Amino acid sequence: MRILVHLAIAIFATLPAYAQRYEHRVQGFPAEAVEGAPLSFRIAYVAPERVKLHAEVKDRNNVVHASEVVEVQGRGVAEFAIAIPRGRFGGQLLMAYWFGDDWRDPRIPIAHVGPIPVYTAVEARRIAEMDRQAAGIRKRLGLSAQRPAVAVLSGGWAGRSAALSDAYVQSLTARGLRCVRIGPDEIANRGVLKKDVVSMVVIPEAQTFPGEAIPALLAYLRSGGHLVALGAPAFDRLVRRLPTDTGAEWVDEAQLTDRLRQTPATRNLLDMSRIRPSAWQRSANDLKAACRWDMASEGPTGLALYHEIDNLTGWETLETPLTRPGATGDNLVTFRARGGPNTTMLAVELRETDGSRWIAAVPITQTWRRYALPVTAFRLWDPDKRSSRGGPDDHLQLTKAATLAVGLALTHTTLPGGKHHYWFSDLGSARGPDIVRFTVPTLDTLSPDYKLYPVRQATSLDGSHGAALMAARTPAMPRNLLSTHPRPTGSGFDKARKYRWIPLLQVRGPQGVAGTVATLMIHTRTEFAGGRWASFTAADREWYARADVRQYVAALAARMLKPAMFVEAGCQYYGVFPDERPLLGARIAGEKAQGLSVRLEVREQGKAQPVFSRTLPLRDSPTGASAQVRWSPQVLAAARYTVRATLIEKGAPVDALSHEVTVRRPPSARTTKLDWVTVRNGEFYIGDRLWSPHGVNYMPSSGLAAEDGHYFEQWLSSESYDPLVIDRDLARVRAAGFDMVSVFIYIESKGNRNLVDLLNRCDAHGLRVNLSLRPGTPLDFQWPGIGEIIAENRLADDPSIFAYDLAWEPFWGYRDQRRRWDGEWEEWIRQRYGSVEAAERDWGESVPRENGKVAGPSDADVTASSSIPRVVAAYRRFQDDLLSRKHMEARQKIRTLDQRHLLSFRMTIAGDPTCGPSIMPYDFAGLARSMDFMAPEGYGRIGDRERVRPGWFTAAYSRMAAPGRPVFWTEFGYSLWNQGERPDPKPSLSFADAFDERHYLPATIAFTERFYREFYEMALNSGSVGTVCWWYPGGFRYGENSDFGIINPDGTWRELTRIISDYARRFAARQPAPQPNTWITVDRDRHPDGIYGIYTEHKDTFWRLADSGKFPGLRTDGDDSDSASAPLVAVGNVPCTGSNPPKYLNAEFESVEVWTRDGRWAAVPYKGGTMEVAAGGPVRIRVVAGNNGVARWLAREGDGQVRAVARDSDGTTLATAPLAADVERLGVSEAVEIALPVIADGAALEITMDAKGRTAFGERRRLVVKRR
């Protein structure tokens, strides 16, 4: 390992406050990697505090195989050199980098770079040898820098048509282009495929391509080479030549895998004939769930293990010792398996004698198949990093294999929940050849096949977007259509995009734009800068042979070789405010203007006469020749404008771009007036109308199948946002029956006005917005950046947004993640109990310690078997208080700018009664006072009705812990994407359905549809106010390898869309939640495992009542009590002594202020401080307190009267101030003032609350008085 950190000369502490944010950026990342060699690069960083900077090298399934970590602080550059392990990446890697201790809670979002190809050492040597042969091949082909040519890949091999290749040579030549045919050997030599001699590569039948040529093609494209790929999915069938008795034959990867499966086993590792069913040991996340297994006689060679699972919710595996380990020299694991209709993957684990666990996830089908997996296919499973295994060259050692475990695990096998079964037999080891497997390249709009989707209901082709570039007749529509996912088109100015995407031939149907069959991508700032790629995605060989198609391709190729093209053109902003004067401009590819000019015009929507028109010469620039002008109208009177830019060369137009600009007026000046969304009695209201939101989490369809993490995640950034795509998406969102969207914006996008345009378009489609403000959480609040989003987009008075979402799925986490709060925990103990020793006497238990310091409870101690249940009860109260304070502080900051919007956040596993307790979800009790609604997520509910229905208990628990707050499910969903074996093809399927069956299994689709119905029913039955599913766009999400979409990528409805539409009517007709008509009393302090233990104790009663038609509610012994009547019991169910925290009385200070010597109120910080007051006269202290307990606070005289109290350092009460009025649970007091007539200079004071004659309670704020 080698890491160097360079600190900048400037001291970070001198940076202004707005710069005190985390930043990281990769520098010098290589274009390729070689196994066994270091991957060297740098990461520039800005870190306001000492933090770990991680660099992780992953495979395409997001599995980390190598990493380095360095601690950094300030501003600097870290150098990394990560050794690339052999046999782990399948030909391609991705690098992730992030700040923090846990990837689930990074300081800022995890960033990625890549993917890049990974070559074996053998491949690297072969590439070098081919480079040495290149000069002779170039001479033979007539390739030279003086006469560069278009290279057309030949046919006549591997099933490719020679006639089709010849036809394209003829068509291109007829357009005046010099062409050469190159074969599989020539195109595999990157010394031949050089940009200075090959002006463009044209690949007919791009589906079939020589695998050995991928490195050369990638090198050519990275040099800025141009490409025309005809046929889709491109590079889907990578072929190689293998020697035969009669010469050689071409085989693809599937054929090669079939041959490898024939490798005979050298040793049987498990003698199935001698194993009884009792020899298998079950392991599962839920051992109460039904499960059966037996040794069945239906194996292809004898007995087989048969395993039947009733309801998969996590993992279900069976384990047995091996009869013998593998033989020396064996490098393959062989076995036979088959699955039921739902079971398309199998996890096979081999455990070595040292305890290391090696797991392979294997696609299986419903027919018996033999498998032969290289040992490198087995990945080390060590999520807690407790073993010393997993180094760069480490892999499964078959000679040390001791135990087999086989089964299903959602961590490894991408499967629906519910019923499953499979068979397994014939485990052995074998010795096979070392074969380099080819990897389909990752090239946007081209490959792999997840870049594409089938188009249904197509009626016509629209060539209007390509017409501005070239004069070519739109060809006839093909029979079988695939489309690439949309990308930003290049409209707008100063967008910092990496490319321009042009939908040359759009496919239309009843749904409108359904996709494309031809696109052009102009690379400017990617690793392929300078290159232009045309992707044709019809799947019919016959279509490409048509004369009109060949003529169109030839015209396009000729145009691609002419430099004059826009990179971007239009307006600086897509959305503006009426008083703004934005820039208009244009930029072309290349640094030289070459006498080009641009005409910029602005029209009010629907009007022919421009309100602005200017023709400007383009000026040379290192970032591309450009021109710009300020558009300064007197007033922006229209709601929408159209900006059009035309590129002019020699007096003729050669390119054009246009887009809309929307104007956002103040709410009072808008045509449609919107009422605010408010909360009353646990429900949402719009004005006086009950509102039950039926929503979807929205990200645009242009983010699908995109590997660029920033582009995908920061979709409101300048580079990612395109209103053409967004408006089409939002129209389909509304048509499906949704009435709201949840979206998010990062601080970096605060001023680009894309949010302004988005809100205008949401208004136009009748969609309310739940807006997530990112990054960070209230526990690490990014202020003032979050406030800048609100201020710069003028959101404070905008009712289109109904809520701000302040955090993205936080939870306390396991002990390793909770450790960061140990200091706060110790301080809370001292504040609430007086000292750690006093707390331990109160509990009768010892607080945990690490390295002599107070520590939080272990993962084991927050379960039902805890050895310190009272400590854990106090720890949970501490967590509630910390959450409440941090969220109150975040709310207070927002309220300085915005008084009206509701506040909450997606609370992930909070309130999940079946979530394992060791991960410690947030509890609603800590969020109830500052958040306006409770927002759980439904991922813990994925499954059948029995798995979904505990969401009703979540809602009941929320109403107990946060009375009056709506219960709003902010995420739920399930991925339809199948990563398993592609099913056997069905001849009866249409082309579109057959393509979809590559990745969408009927069983998964049916499971998801049932789950949505059950979830919606649960939400309605439980009195939840609404739901937001995850997410809108259908298609492949890179990295997560999922498809949670609710609509087909072509805009046609899935059956899921119809279910959503049906429930839109149900939610629109929903009535307010009924009041509970029967009660269950619960006590969290009895359960160190929190809500999990509460549910375990009471679930049978809860469901018996619910199934009998009751609407059960939960309550505590302190409900409906007040400060005079609340039971005097302390946290942990011990007697309340006045020196320990009462269970049902609690308080936090909204503010504690002191009247200072200069005549103003000054806030006392939470951790206390020295406050300067006048030398003479009384000390005045003003207090505003929030009731974050259970009991109501009484203001009337007598026992139980709640007062603000000032005490000295000895605990003696110096003065009190009673409340002016009662304070309900979760309410806030009016300001009360404590006057202290005689206070000495340097006196230490403590401010707290008490219930007169009963007990002190809540936060204690300390200060020191300094007389001046």
For residues 298 and 45, which has the higher predicted lDDT (pLDDT)?
45
Tell me, what's the pLDDT at 713? 95
Residues 500 and 674: their CA atoms lie apart, in Å, by 37
Question: Smallest Cα–Cα separation from 691: which of 1023, 1071, 1059, 958?
Answer: 1071
Residues 23 and 39: their CA atoms lie apart, in Å, by 22
| 1154-1206 tens-digit pLDDT | 999 999 999 999 999 999 999 888 999 999 999 999 999 999 999 999 999 99
Task: Quickly state the pLDDT bin for 983 (edges 50, 70, 90).
Answer: low
- The arithmetic mean of pLDDT across residues 523-541, rounded, is 94
Q: Do 566-663 and 1142-1267 share a fold? A: yes
Asked whether the beta carbons of 986 and 953 are under 8 A apart, the reply is no
Could you count the other beta carbons within 10 Å of the beta carbon of residue 1037? 21
Question: Smallest Cα–Cα separation from 1193: which of 1261, 1142, 1152?
Answer: 1142
Tell me, what's the pLDDT at 20? 53
Q: What phi and psi values does residue 1128 have, to the nearest 5 degrees?
A: -85, 75
Strands (E), 589-731: 597-604, 612-617, 626-630, 640-649, 652-663, 677-680, 683-686, 689-691, 694-697
CATH class belonging to 121-250+438-562 = alpha beta
For residues 155 and 126, which has the higher predicted lDDT (pLDDT)?
155
| 170-205 tens-digit pLDDT | 999 999 999 999 999 999 998 999 999 999 999 999
CATH number for 1142-1267: choose from 1.10.10.10, 2.60.40.3020, 3.50.50.60, 1.10.3720.10.
2.60.40.3020
Inter-residue long-range contacts of 161-166, CB under 8 Å, 24+ positions, other chains counted: 161/204, 161/205, 161/541, 163/545, 164/204, 164/205, 164/541, 164/544, 164/545, 165/204
Asked whether the beta carbons of 181 and 205 are under 8 A apart, the reply is no
Q: Taken in order 1244, 1250, 1255, 1257, is the CA torsion positive or negative?
A: negative
CB-based contacts of 1184, cutoff 8 Å, min separation 6: 1149, 1150, 1151, 1228, 1229, 1230, 1231, 1232
Residue 561 corresponds to which amino acid?
L
Alpha-carbon Rg for the chain, nearest whole angstrom, is 33
Token pair of 987 as six digits: 């001849």
Tell me, what's the pLDDT at 1093? 98
Whether 1139 has a pLDDT exceeding 90, the answer reads: yes
| 34-86 tens-digit pLDDT | 998 999 999 999 999 999 999 999 987 778 899 999 999 999 999 999 999 98
207-240 burial string, b = 16+ CB within 10 Å, else e? Answer: bbbbbbbbbbbbbbbbbebbbbbbbbbbbbbbbb
Helices (H), ranges, 156-267: 162-174, 184-187, 214-222, 253-260
Domain boundaries, the chain: 2-119, 121-250+438-562, 264-430, 566-663, 685-813+881-981+1009-1068, 1142-1267
| 200-249 tens-digit pLDDT | 999 999 999 999 999 999 999 999 999 999 999 999 999 999 888 888 89
Percent share of the chain, pLDDT over 90? 80
Query: What stretch of H or E contains 351?
Result: strand 345-352
| 709-728 tens-digit pLDDT | 899 999 999 999 999 999 99
| 437-487 tens-digit pLDDT | 888 999 999 999 999 999 999 999 999 999 999 999 999 999 999 999 999
Percent share of the chain, pLDDT over 70? 98
Token pair of 632 as six digits: 């300064």
Residues 799 and 842: their CA atoms lie apart, in Å, by 50
Assigned CATH topology for domain 685-813+881-981+1009-1068: TIM Barrel (3.20.20)
Write the CA distances from 1087 to 869, 987, 1094, integer angstroms: 7, 58, 7
| 1-35 tens-digit pLDDT | 323 333 332 323 333 333 358 899 899 899 889 99
CATH number for 2-119: choose from 3.40.50.300, 2.60.40.2550, 3.60.15.10, 3.40.30.10.
2.60.40.2550
CB-based contacts of 934, cutoff 8 Å, min separation 6: 904, 907, 910, 911, 924, 927, 928, 958, 962, 965, 966, 967, 968
Look at the chain and count its residues. Answer: 1268
CB-based contacts of 720, cutoff 8 Å, min separation 6: 488, 700, 702, 703, 711, 712, 714
The span from the first CA to the last CA of the chain, in angstroms, equals 58
Task: Quickly state the pLDDT bin for 984 (edges 50, 70, 90).
Answer: low
Asked whether the beta carbons of 483 and 471 are under 8 A apart, the reply is no
| 1057-1107 tens-digit pLDDT | 999 999 999 999 999 999 999 999 999 999 999 999 999 999 999 999 999
CATH architecture of 264-430: Sandwich (2.60)
Asked whether the beta carbons of 1176 and 1215 are under 8 A apart, the reply is no
Residues 482 and 338: their CA atoms lie apart, in Å, by 31
Write the CA distances from 792 to 397, 492, 638, integer angstroms: 59, 20, 22
Tell me, what's the pLDDT at 1074? 96
Residue with tokens 């969102």: 733
Q: Across-strand partners of 338?
A: 423
Question: Smallest Cα–Cα separation from 770: which of 679, 889, 904?
Answer: 904
Question: Smallest Cα–Cα separation from 172: which of 560, 714, 627, 661?
Answer: 560
Task: Quickly state the pLDDT bin for 88 (edges 50, 70, 90).
Answer: confident
For residue 448, whether the previous peptide bond is cis, meaning omega lies within 30 degrees of 0, is yes
Angle at which helices 950-961 and 1091-1107 cross, to 10°: 110
Whether 131 has a pLDDT exceeding 50, the answer reads: yes
Could you count the other beta carbons within 10 Å of the beta carbon of residue 853? 10
CATH 2.60.40.10, applies to 566-663:
yes
| 387-426 tens-digit pLDDT | 778 776 788 999 999 999 999 998 888 788 888 999 999 9
Task: Quote the distance between the C-alpha of residue 1104 and its chain's center.
Answer: 38
Residues 715 and 268: their CA atoms lie apart, in Å, by 53
Q: Taken in order 60, 65, 66, 72, is the CA torsion positive or negative?
A: positive
Q: Is 791 exposed, middle or buried (0-12, 13-18, 19+ CB in 10 A)?
A: middle
